[in-house]
Amino acid sequence: MTQQARDLSRRRLMFGGAALGAGALLTACTSNDASAPEGQTKVADASAAAPGKPVTIGFSAPAADHGWLAAITTNAKAQAGLYSDVTFKTVEAGADAPAQLAALRTLIAQKPDVIVLLPHDGKELNAFGLEAMKAGIPVVNLDRAFPDALAYRLQIKGDNYGMGVSAGKYIGEQMKAKNIANPIIGEIPGIDSLELTSERSAGFKAELATFGFSVARRIPAEFTADTGRVAASQLLQALPKIDAVWNHDDDQGIGVLAAITQANRSEFIMVGGAGSKAAIDAIAADNSVLKATVTYSPSMASSAITLARLIGQGKGMSDLVELQVPKEITLTSETITKENASTYAKLGF
């Protein structure tokens, strides 16, 4: 892009912004009339999907003990299978960060074109990202962000904070609609030592605060049905009356719902997290306390493979104007309720 073109575009943006402030009519005029310099606009073409240079994608995700993680690996593999020009090499990450690091080193030795990786913890594997990038292998970080911007070519992740906000918003609105002034709200997060958990809780807390509400009790589980059951039974015991519960994860939600049924409690509404098939079905059926779930879809793994392929081939995303894949992509967290459950059913895992 020439200096002149850049200046032009900036000026156009500034003008557009000013016009927006002045009035809608004026904005319409400016945006319609101004013709953009060449290369600043385009209509999507199909060239990105056409077979191109062969790309080997190395993939690593923690050993799945959980539906969401299992779906991540399954999706990645399936998406890679859709491209005739992609060779997919997967190494399992083992039980912890050092084990994943060891597995990734064997992957580097196989010289893939791109590495897609869901780290146990982004902070712990940041050094690996730096190392691989230095060795000329672009790294696509899936979901658990690296703190160092030099450690990755692309980061694609769910919106953890936004997930908390969506859950808080739904609960807040429901409480307002029911005219409950001081609702008793419980929270069952997942593994508490993960940054994503604190982001989710922070978003939840902040959004609830806008309604003047707060969390009465928060008992963490470990993302499994078994631990969710224990946490929920303790939460129910601690709070004899509850108005709403946010459970961060639909897989652990199986256990949470079991505990709620066993305790014979139904005076509250529950919101889930992630968007599992079982949760979407339960919301559609509308026969339990689960009334909504906020998405954190493992479909991001499929997108990560698609983008890794484009990075390997030096292509951009055909709907974007940019010639290359952007550096950061954060999905939005949507709220699935009885009304829109059918739309999301196909994304359930």
Residues that bind another protein (CB under 8 A): 63-67, 69-70, 73, 192, 217-220, 222, 224-231, 233-235, 237-238, 240, 251, 254-255, 257-259, 261-262, 278
Task: Please report how close the Cβ of residue 65 comes to another protein at its closest, in angstroms.
Answer: 4
Distance CA 293, CA 275 (A): 6
Cβ closer to another protein: 316 or 348?
348
Q: Which CB, 62 or 129, lies closer to another protein?
A: 62
Nearer to another protein, 65 or 267 (CB): 65
- Shortest distance in whole angstroms from residue 253 CB to another protein: 10
Nearer to another protein, 114 or 221 (CB): 221
Instruction: Give exposure, 22-36, as e/b (b: 16+ Cβ within 10 Å).
Output: eeeeebeeeeeeeee
> Please, which residue, 155 or 224, has the CB nearer to another protein?
224
Cβ nearer to another protein, comparing 141 with 233: 233
C-alpha dist (Å) from residue 333 to 73, 228, 303:
21, 22, 16
114/118 with CB nearer another protein: 118
CB of 147 to another protein, least distance (A): 23
Query: What SS3 class is residue 313?
Result: helix
In the bound complex, what is the minimum distance in angstroms from residue 217's beta carbon to another protein?
Answer: 5
Residue 254: which of 71, 66, 69 has the closest Cα? 66
CB 294 within 8 A of CB 163: yes
Give least dist CB 184 to another protein, A. Answer: 12
3-state secondary structure of 38: coil
Closest approach, Cβ 261 to another protein, in A, equals 6
Of 114, 178, 122, 174, the closest CA to residue 148 belongs to: 122
Q: Closest distance between another protein and the C-beta of residue 194, in Å? A: 14
Nearest to 126 by CA among 97, 96, 102, 103: 97
Which helix H or strand E contains 337, and what residues bound it?
A: strand 335-337
Bridge partners (DSSP) listed for residue 60: 91, 117
